Amino acid sequence: MVEILKSFEQVASRFSPAVLVLPGLTLTGLGLVTWLAGMCRRRLIPGLAGALTGGLAMFFVGGQNLLIAALTAGGIAAFAAGAPRLFVAVVLASLGVSVGFGVQARSQLFQQHGLLISSQTLRQTETRFTVRESLDVVQAYVLDVVDVLDRAIARQWVPADLAVLAGVGVGLLIGALLVPRVAGALTCSLVGSGLVFAGLTLLLIYKGSTPVARMEQQGAFYGLALLGMGAFGTLEQLLLCPPSGRDREGGSKSRSRRERSKEDWRNR
Question: Is residue 128's pLDDT more than 60?
Answer: yes
DSSP 171-239: HHHHHHHHSHHHHHHHHHHHHHHHHHHHHHHHHHHHTT--HHHHHHHTHHHHHHHHHHHHHHHHHHHHH
What per-residue string of b and e applies to 40-72 under the rule 16 or more CB within 10 Å gives b?
A: ebbeebbbbbbbbbbbbebbbbeeeeeeebeeb
pLDDT at 268 (0 to 100): 46
Mean of pLDDT over the chain = 83
The larger pLDDT score, comparing residue 180 to residue 152, is at: 180
Q: Which of 8-17, 18-27, 153-162, 210-219 has the highest mean pLDDT?
A: 18-27
pLDDT at 246 (0 to 100): 58
48 in Cβ contact with 74 (< 8 Å): no
Task: Give the residue-averaged pLDDT of 105-125.
Answer: 57
pLDDT at 248 (0 to 100): 54
Question: Is residue 100's pLDDT more than 90?
Answer: no
Question: Is residue 90's pLDDT more than 50?
Answer: yes
Q: What percent of the chain has pLDDT over 90?
A: 44
The 10s digit of each residue's pLDDT in 32-76 is 999 999 998 888 999 999 999 999 999 988 888 999 999 999 999
Backbone angles phi, psi at 114, to 5 degrees: -75, 130
SS3 content of the chain, % helix, strand, coil (to 5): 85, 0, 15
Lowest mean pLDDT across 20-24, 102-106, 140-144, 264-268: 264-268
- Local confidence band at 258 (pLDDT 50, 70, 90 cut-offs): low
The 10s digit of each residue's pLDDT in 160-213 is 788 888 999 999 999 999 999 999 999 999 999 999 999 999 999 988 888 888
Model confidence pTM above 0.95: no
Task: Give the residue-averaged pLDDT of 112-138.
Answer: 68
Question: Is residue 254's pLDDT more than 50?
Answer: no
pLDDT at 263 (0 to 100): 47
